[in-house]
Amino acid sequence: MSTTTSTDTLSAHVRGYAQAVRLHLEDLGPDVADDLTDGLEADLTEAVLDDVEAPADAVGTQVFDLTARFGPADEYAAELRAAAGLPSAAPARRPIPAAARAIGEAWTVASDRWRATWRPLTSTPGWAAAVEFVRSLVPAWWILRGWVVAQVLLVSFTPAGIVLWPESTHGRVLVVAAIVVSIQWGRGKWVPRWAWFPRVVAVASVAAGLLAIPMMTQVEAGARPVVADYYTGFDAGWAEGFSNAQVSTVNAGDGAGTDGVWVDGVQVSNIFAYDAAGDPIRDVQLFDDRGRPIRTIGAGATWDTWSVPDVPGSWSFQPALASDGRTRWNVYPLSAVPADQVGLGDDEVGGYSEGEGTEYPLPPTGVQPQELPWPFLKAPTAIEDDDAVAGSGAEESDEPAHEGLGHDRSANDPAGDTVRPGDRPASGGVEPTLEATEAD
Amino acid sequence: MLCVDTTQLLKGVLDAAVLAVVEQEDGYGYDIVRRLRAGGVESGEASVYGTLRRLYASGSLTSYVVPSEEGPHRKYYGITPHGREALNSQRKEWQEFADTMAGLLGERNEAAR
């Protein structure tokens, strides 16, 4: 052959073809496969050169499709092993050809095209720098991966919640061990030599990556003391905590611990105030030390329904209305309407559809918000009647603002369907408590 | 030209053909393919290589490596006494088979006329 280039190319093609044949003999084990294909390259080359009577040029062009000359590599391998009296390839490997090959080719084409599309970007030095930067973060990913795996194990097999650093010793040991193993695997150490192992690690890593984000969110929520209470509640007794939660809330929702008022890990739906003498006070406006209104029903939870102690059914709380018509959710106790009357129950009686755009579920005309039962007729403790402390409270207890939650409807006495202890002093029509404090 | 596929028929025939070719002179894989072709037997190359390997494994052939001046080394095959025995018995069987077939086909041909 006059041109070494074409013979070089030929030998490259021959090596490729021989390699493909060997691939199809892989299941026989390396010894048998090598024995069967020993000298295959030489034989193939010679066969090709034998076919080409014409010199170099022809070698360069027509003959290089070895598949056309020798047939597909898998058929060649099958013929080889059949003639050698060896078992044909395992049936599991056989069905690969048509569909899988088409998918594989389509994938190759698609990924090539994808790479080509982004080449203008990926070929820039900035991209290389970015890739290098991301690559330098890989150890951090190893740590996160170990942490996620440890959390999954802890949550699955112990009553622990997802926290950044577990409180229990075994939890801490597990987290450290998982992180160390994850790092070592990332560095290619401590890796078992099972054939399936890398695949399992790959799948588990992807799963860990997907889990990492929601778990981090959980940790953020868990950083608030509320959930810590819930966590210790487990220690105190899971059943008790569960039943408490059942009584007090119908839907604590996903935002548990992020909004509202909580007592002992249980969300508060309504607040009842008593004065120094132990008598109930209505229309109490509550603010925290920063002047923010204290809302049990968060801005995003106004459509939630609640179950309350001693009264069956679920209830939808109603805000007080200020004199300018704005809603006030920090005026207690809150009144409520049965959830099914505002279209949140089983049958849609109320104006659910028209109310959907409103801030909270408006009761249909004729349905009055009800006052819910007070926990005590009179507070169990009376505060010593010091003038400085009890002065204003005593005044209010003289005139408890009964139905005056700011609703115009309160003019109609809802005493008939109001659920409350019967023998409390009830004098209607005291509205002005709200108007006095319309400052904010 | 006798064109043989990878069929049941091939196995017996190709074994005998390969043994016969190697008996004449030792050879390597493609060399044997070439000589089979020259003798009128067109067979898949892979079938020949597989057959060589099987005959070697069964002890009918021996093999040795000859370094090549250009390119890779060559694995040559030579016949063993056991291979010679096998070839002789196959020759005999083939002769009987061919006679039977000739007689049978000849009769049929006459009957067809």
Q: Phi/psi at A371 (nearest 5 deg)?
A: -85, 140
Q: Considering only residues A268 and A359, tell me which one the structure prediction assigns the higher pLDDT.
A: A268
How would residue B81 be classed by pLDDT, with cut points 50, 70 and 90? very high
E strand or H helix that includes residue B36: helix B29-38
Omega before A293 within 30 of 0, i.e. cis: no
Are A347 and A321 contacting, i.e. CB atoms less than 8 angstroms apart?
A: no
pLDDT value at residue A53? 60
Residue A268's SS3 state is strand
CATH of domain B2-112: 1.10.10.10
Distance CA A84, CA A87 (A): 9
Question: pLDDT per residue over B32-45, tens digit each?
Answer: 999 988 888 888 88
> For A83, which residue in chain B has the nearest alpha carbon?
B50
Q: Distance (Å) from the C-alpha of residue B111 to the closest C-alpha of chain A? A: 38
The identity of residue A322, as a single letter, is: A
Residue A77 forms contact with B (CB below 8 Å):
yes
Mean pLDDT of all residues in B49-62:
89
Residue B104 forms contact with A (CB below 8 Å):
no
Distance CA B102, CA B107 (A): 8
Question: pLDDT per residue over A166-222, tens digit each?
Answer: 888 888 999 999 999 999 988 888 888 787 888 888 888 899 999 888 888 877 766
- Is residue A253 scored above 50 in pLDDT? no
Residues of A in contact with B53 (CB under 8 A): 35-36, 83-84
Residues of B in contact with A39 (CB under 8 A): 28-29, 72-75
Residue A35's SS3 state is helix
Residues of A in contact with B70 (CB under 8 A): none
Q: Considering only residues A373 and A57, tell me which one the structure prediction assigns the higher pLDDT.
A: A373
**In the numeric block, which tokens belong to residue B66?**
């000859």
Strand-pair category, B41-42 with B2-3 = parallel
Nearest to B54 among A38, A46, A84 (CB): A84
pLDDT value at residue A427? 46
How would residue A105 be classed by pLDDT, with cut points 50, 70 and 90? confident
Q: Do B72 and A39 touch (CB under 8 A)?
A: yes
pLDDT value at residue A12? 80
Residue B63 forms contact with A (CB below 8 Å):
no
Strand-pair category, A273-274 with A280-281 = antiparallel
Q: Considering only residues B47 and A426, tell me which one the structure prediction assigns the higher pLDDT.
A: B47
- Is residue A401 scored above 60 in pLDDT? no
pLDDT value at residue B3? 53
Are A373 and A336 contacting, i.e. CB atoms less than 8 angstroms apart?
A: no
The identity of residue A266, as a single letter, is: V
Question: pLDDT per residue over A350-360, tens digit each?
Answer: 444 444 567 78
Distance CA A162, CA A147 (A): 10
Average pLDDT, chain B: 82
Orientation of helix A4-24 relative to helix A40-51, angle to 10°:
130
Nearest to B29 among A35, A39, A85 (CB): A39
Residue B53 forms contact with A (CB below 8 Å):
yes
Q: Phi/psi at A291 (nearest 5 deg)?
A: 80, 10
The identity of residue B95, as a single letter, is: Q
Q: What is the largest CA-CA distance in chain A?
A: 122
Mean pLDDT of all residues in A218-241:
52
- Is residue A433 scored above 90 in pLDDT? no
Q: Considering only residues A147 and A158, tell me which one the structure prediction assigns the higher pLDDT.
A: A147
- Burial code (b: 16+ CB inside 10 Å, e: under 16) for A255-282 equals ebbebbbbeebbbebbbbbbbbeebbbb
pLDDT value at residue A119? 84
- Is residue B107 scored above 50 in pLDDT? yes
pLDDT value at residue A249? 42
Are A260 and A297 contacting, i.e. CB atoms less than 8 angstroms apart?
A: yes
> DSSP H helical segments within A158-237, as ranges?
169-186, 197-222, 225-236
Q: What percent of chain A has pLDDT over 70?
A: 68
Q: Do A79 and B6 touch (CB under 8 A)?
A: yes
Nearest to B45 among A41, A42, A47 (CB): A47
Q: How far is residue A436 CA from its own chain's centroid? A: 46
Average pLDDT, chain A: 73
Nearest to B74 among A39, A50, A85 (CB): A39
Provide the β-strand partners of residue B65. B75
> A165-179, A281-295, A337-351, A399-413: which range is least confident on average?
A399-413
How would residue A262 be classed by pLDDT, with cut points 50, 70 and 90? confident
Nearest to B46 among A42, A76, A85 (CB): A76
Distance CA A151, CA A145 (A): 10
Domain assignments of chain B as residue spans, ordered by start? 2-112
Question: pLDDT per residue over A49-99, tens digit each?
Answer: 877 665 554 444 555 677 878 888 888 888 888 888 887 766 555 556 778
How would residue A143 be classed by pLDDT, with cut points 50, 70 and 90? very high
pLDDT value at residue B108? 55
Residues of B in contact with A24 (CB under 8 A): none
Top mean pLDDT of A18-27, A175-184, A331-340, B9-18 is at: A175-184
Nearest to B54 among A38, A76, A85 (CB): A85
Q: Do A40 and B49 touch (CB under 8 A)?
A: yes
* Residues with Cβ within 8 Å of residue A96, at least 6 apart in sequence: none
How would residue B20 be classed by pLDDT, with cut points 50, 70 and 90? very high
- Is residue B6 scored above 80 in pLDDT? no
Mean pLDDT of all residues in A369-397:
68
**Which of B18, B34, B54, B73 to mutate to test binding with chain A, by most A CBs within 10 Å of its CB?**
B54
Mean pLDDT of all residues in B20-30:
90
pLDDT value at residue A140? 92
Top mean pLDDT of A14-18, A35-39, A137-141 is at: A137-141
Residue A281's SS3 state is strand
- Is residue B110 scored above 60 in pLDDT? no
pLDDT value at residue A157? 84
